[in-house]
Structure 1
């Protein structure tokens, strides 16, 4: 099973790297002049995509995320960071990832995994300073959580 995970991770990494390769487009323009001469101009445009990678969102960062969760994180479908402004009674908290703060929006359908497997378990203990992963849609400075994974 471990070889399968390694192979999948390698294939995903290769796919991401290939999508970052520069792309070249060529445009040819043909014009006629009044004296019947034909001029051909070819223009090449290179578009380069850059992707910033960090040690976050990998299987090597010692969190509780499994391979599919880590792939979601790497694809930008979630965040990993430290809980701050935790309010268990109000069931609200913020997440700090790479010195940026996000408001985490929890709904009835949010799944909980890791140490706390229910909303009651998660909000029943002070999580300030805990490292967690939050999967969901990122909207500016907020994330609509579909899954919260606690590692401490």
Structure 2
């Protein structure tokens, strides 16, 4: 029975190992020959989040997925696409989370509204307590 369980676990790990064993895309670790195009690509890659490690930009990450994303960015910029168009394409493909510069939309507005509402609530409570304290002569 133990051998069967070990075999099943090993079979589940094979696809994950195969994904990391694939050779990297051509522009995953190779810069573009044109310095101006590479500067555009690098500036864009600094603003995109690695979906696997989540705390690094795709420019800084060594994750295979980040390498694939770098390849996509460089390939599209080399083909003449505008960096903002590439950003929009990546957001459409991976969601708003991929961008370090989220835009206000129907799905992201709570991320912007909730902190403002909490600050206003804290100020209301603070002024209410200070007003009550001043009224009672405790100050």
TM range (shorter): under 0.3
TM-score, with structure 1 as normaliser: 0.21
Higher relative strand content: 1
TM-score, with structure 2 as normaliser: 0.22
Higher relative helix content: 2
